[in-house]
Amino acid sequence: MSDPPPDRPGHGPHRYEIRVDGHLSPRWAAWFGDLTLTAMSDGTTVLRGPAVDQAALHGLLRKVRDAGLPLLCVTQVGLAPPTPPPPIPDDPHAGE
């Protein structure tokens, strides 16, 4: 028996972007299971990672909740990623 193809939106593993308020220190990357954290020019942080299923996504959201981070949005990322505000290349805290 093989797993059914993840053809329906929202079911099989997908890539997600989680946006939270405030610029997160990069050290949180490990806490979130090695997600990439990108500080955005609008004062938010976008968390990106490999494709995860629903259960893993909820696990991540729980971590966001437990860290007290204000959650702004969760987006499923398809083949054509939405265009977020550009990262700030010279963010003074990005490399901390």
Partner 1 sequence: MAGPLVETKLFIPRPRRGTVVRHRLSERLNRGAQTRLTLLSAPAGFGKTTLLAQWLADAAADRRPVAWLSLDESDGQPTPFWTYVLTALQRAVPGLGAGVLPLMQTAQPPVEAVLSTVINELSAVPDDIHVVLDDYHLVDGPGIQAGMTFLLEHLPPQVHLLISTRADPALPLARLRARGELVEIRAANLRFTLDEVAAYFNEASGLNLAKKDLAALEGRTEGWAAALQLAALSLRGRADVAGFIAGFTGDNRYIVDYLVEEVLRRQPDHIREFLLQTSVLDRLTGPLCDAVTARNDGRAMLESLERANLFVIPLDDNRQWYRYHHLFADVLRTHLRDERRDDLPDLHLRASRWYDQNGEPLPAVRHSLAAGDVEHAAGLIELAIPALRRNRQEGAIRGWIDAVPDAVVRVRPVLAAGFAGALMMTGEFEGVEERLRDAEQWLEEPTTDLSGAPAPAPAAGMVVLDEQELARLPGTIQLYRAALELARGDAVATVRHAQSAIERSADDDHLTRSAASALSGLTFWGGGDLGAAHAAYSASIQGLRRVGHVSDVLGCSITLADIRIAQGRLDEALRTYQEALRLAAADAGPEPRGTADMYVGMSQIAHERDDLDTAAAHLSRSREIGEHAGLPQNAYRWRVAMARIREARGDLGGALQLLDEAQRVYTGDLSPNVRPIPALHARMLAAHGQVGEALSWTRDQHLSADDDLSYLREYEHITLARVLLAQYAADRSEVSLDGATRLLERLLTAAQEGGRGGSAIEILVLQALAHHARGNTPAALETLGHALSLAEPAGYVRVFTDEGPSMTTLLRAIAPSRASSTYVRRLLAARERADGTSSVGDRGNTSANQATHRVQGLLEPLSERERDVLRMLGTDLDGPAIARQLFVSLNTLRTHTKNIYAKLGVSSRREAVRRAGELGLP
Interacting residues with partner 1 (CB under 8 A): 20-25, 27-28, 30-31, 39, 43, 45, 65-69, 93
> Structure tokens of 52?
């995860």
CB 35 within 8 A of CB 69: no
User: Residue 21 or residue 53: which is nearer to partner 1 going by CB?
Assistant: 21
13 close to 51: Cβ distance less than 8 angstroms: yes
Nearer to partner 1, 20 or 57 (CB): 20
- The minimum distance between CB 56 and partner 1, in angstroms, equals 15
What's the closest the beta carbon of residue 58 comes to partner 1, in angstroms? Answer: 11
CB 58 within 8 A of CB 65: no
**Rounded to the nearest whole angstrom, what is the least distance from the CB of residue 70 to partner 1 in the complex?**
8
- Of the pair 11, 62, the CB lying nearest partner 1 is at 62
Closest CA to 50 of 40, 36, 64: 36
